[in-house]
Chains A and B, each alone.
Chain A
Amino acid sequence: MLKVRVIPSLLWKGVGLVKGIGFDSSRRVGSVLPAVKVYNSRDVDELVLVDITATSEARHPDDASVSEFAEHCFVPLAVGGGVRELSDIVRLLRAGADKVVVNTAAYELPELVSQAARKFGAQCIVASVDVRTMNGGYTCMSHCGTRDSGRCPVSWARELEARGVGEILLTSIDRDGTMMGYDLALIESVTKAVNIPVIASGGAGSYQHMVDAVQLAGASAVAAASLFHFTEQTPAGAKVAMRAAGIPVRSSLPSALPS
């Protein structure tokens, strides 16, 4: 039986890792490479690494740095930020990413997603969807949460699925960094609308939040950043709690991993 994944997410800005609330990336929380090494040594299910300023700085993904991080990463790795062309995806995959995360480009260049899925296979392409509540409803935001795309999450998720995306990384901007729980209504509306895996993101503050995202909202995986950066809680602890709640999760075996 397929296990539910617990996925630490790392937000990469310039030379370091950041985290904030509501996408304000206000705090530095260290450097990327040490974080990758730590999560690798803890044998996490998967890791997401997003370069959050690549799009606003009109930069292509820094595949050289990704290559360096990937040298130390033996767990499945999804990388995003600034992906705008097929060549960006090729370079990230060659650098060591197992999956590539696309956000802004999907709104501006919808054909990119279809072409990428055809060329690399749906399973390589993760669409990151950032959502804010606005005027009583949900709106998808591009450019690291700064621009209103005019799309609503359910119809956008369906369109992404139709274009061939493999998974959706669904983030609530409002809940991001608050540690007050995922936006279950948002997650459920999307998991019910599509038949591709949805990764819940934004707001995890406790293991119970993760259990709820899976059991109440249908998420296939749960991502978290603040929870792991700022509290004593860990991916392994999350899985113990999820197992106790009856959710199938992988045991992380202690092992001597290459570093």
Chain B
Amino acid sequence: MTVAIVDYGMGNLASVRRAIEGLGGRVEIAKHPQELATADRVVLPGVGAFGEASARLRESGWADALKDEILLGTKPLLGICLGMQLLAVEGEEDGVHPGLGLVAGRVCRIDKLGCRLRVPHVGWNAVSHRDDDPLFESIPTLMDFYFVHSYAFQVDDRDAEVATVTYGTVLAAAVHKGRVFGTQFHPEKSSRAGRQVLENFLAYPSC
């Protein structure tokens, strides 16, 4: 099982890599889209600002490559934190920027979504998830996961929002559409529950 972690210059790849290797996966840090060919799964990590990430994905060819993979390929994709937000149609951080458009909705600052508490949302918070979603297999509901973000994905496709978290208002915590998954929280930093999410992603069958 080879997992390609997309390296587009933004993010803490090391933690994700170590977490996946700890679960027995083989990791390739993929700087170029061609490197997807040998992978069974793709992870899009992300730490940083939407606008810059969007530009980097487009300029590097990754945006097209990931969209093609989902349209035409077989590999499951997991976006983490900013990586989940990049699955959206567009994001509002620092101007409006296009996302990958793989899940309908847009990314807005959490206070714009109704949160009146301190921003960013930092720390451990309970995730309420749909019973039957494979990403949360074996995970009790309302387990705490680690969040650190100021923006959140306002998901338009209700079926795709498979988990939520409450921070002043209800925010999307995870999405799943077909082979595309996303978590707003950092599973690689979320202890046992987080590792279970990663394990579930690795176990999800390719088509």
Question: Real complex partners, A and B?
Answer: yes
Are A166 and B150 in touch, CB under 8 angstroms? yes
B119:A71 contact, CB within 8 angstroms: no
Q: Does A121 lie within 8 Å of B146, measured CB to CB?
A: no
Task: Give Cα A167–Cα B19 distance, bound, in whole angstroms.
Answer: 26
**How distant is the Cα of A2 from the Cα of B123 in the complex, in angstroms?**
7
Distance between A122 CB and nearest chain B CB, rounded to angstroms: 5
Measured in the bound complex, the distance between the Cα atoms of B166 and A168 in whole Å is 23
* Complex contacts, B48 vs chain A, CB 8 Å: 119-121, 124
Please tell me if A93 contacts chain B, counting CB pairs below 8 Å. Answer: yes
**A195 near B119: Cβ-Cβ < 8 Å:** yes
A99 at the interface (CB under 8 A from B): yes
A187 CB, min distance to chain B CBs, angstroms: 14
Residue in A closest to B148 when the chains form the complex, CB atoms: A123
The answer to whether residues A122 and B19 also contact, given A2-B117, A197-B122, A250-B124 and a CB cut-off of 8 A, is no
Q: Which A residues touch B118, using CB under 8 A?
A: 195-197, 220
A119 vs B48: C-alpha distance when bound (angstroms)? 6
Q: A1, B15: Cβ atoms under 8 Å?
A: no
Separation of A131 and B47 alpha carbons in the complex (Å): 30
Contacts of A93 in B (CB 8 A): 11-12, 47
A98 adjacent to chain B (CB < 8 Å):
yes
A24-59 residues at the B interface, CB under 8 angstroms? 43, 45-46
Cβ < 8 Å to B, chain A residues 118-175: 118-124, 166-167
User: Nearest-CB distance from A40 to chain B (Å)?
Assistant: 10
Judging by beta carbons under 8 Å apart, are B191 and A75 in contact?
yes
A122-B150, A123-B148, A123-B149 given; A76·B120 CB < 8 A: no
* Nearest chain B residue, comparing its CB with the CB of A95: B14
Query: Are A97 and B120 in contact, CB atoms less than 8 angstroms apart?
Result: no
Q: Does B192 contact A (CB under 8 A)?
A: yes
List the A residue with the shortest CB-CB distance to B10.
A120
Are B189 and A98 touching (Cβ within 8 A)? yes
Query: CB distance A124 to B126 under 8 Å?
Result: no
CA distance A165 to B96 in the complex (A): 21
**In the complex, which residues 13-53 of chain B have their Cβ closer than 8 Å to any Cβ of chain A?**
13-15, 18-19, 22, 47-49, 52
- Say if the beta carbon of A235 comes within 8 Å of chain B: no
- A74 near B189 with CB under 8 A, answer yes
Docked Cα-Cα span, A240 to B19, in Å, equals: 28
Given contacts A75-B189, A93-B12, A197-B118, contact A120 B47 (CB under 8 A): yes
B94 located at the interface, meaning its Cβ lies under 8 Å from any Cβ of chain A in the complex: yes
Across the interface, B49 reaches (CB within 8 A) one of A96, A99, A121, namely: A121
Whether A2 contacts B125 by the Cβ 8 Å rule is yes
Task: Check if A224 is an interface residue, CB within 8 A of chain B.
Answer: no
Q: Which of A235-255 contact B (CB under 8 A)?
A: 250-253, 255
- A74 with B122: in contact, given A118-B49, A250-B144, A255-B192 (CB under 8 Å)? no
State the CA gap A118–B94 with chains docked (Å).
8
With A94-B13, A96-B15 as contacts: A119 and B49 at CB distance below 8 Å: yes
Interface residue B82 (Cβ < 8 Å from any Cβ of A): yes
Which residues of chain B are near A195, meaning CB under 8 Å? 118-119
Contact A121 B47 (CB under 8 A): yes
Q: Is the CB of B14 within 8 A of A196?
A: no
**Taking the nearest CB of chain A, how far is it from the CB of B92, in angstroms?**
13
Interface positions of B from 152 to 204, Cβ below 8 Å from A: 166-167, 186, 188-189, 191-192
22 residue pairs A–B, Cβ–Cβ below 8 Å: A1-B166, A3-B124, A5-B124, A67-B14, A74-B189, A75-B189, A93-B11, A94-B12, A94-B13, A94-B14, A97-B12, A98-B15, A99-B148, A118-B52, A119-B52, A123-B122, A195-B118, A195-B119, A196-B119, A220-B123, A252-B191, A258-B22
Given pairs A3-B124, A46-B123, A98-B148, 8 additional interface contacts (CB within 8 A): A2-B167, A45-B124, A96-B15, A118-B49, A121-B49, A196-B118, A196-B120, A253-B192
Pick the 10 closest A-B CB pairs, nearest first.
Answer: A258-B22, A123-B120, A96-B14, A250-B124, A255-B192, A3-B124, A123-B148, A250-B144, A120-B48, A2-B125
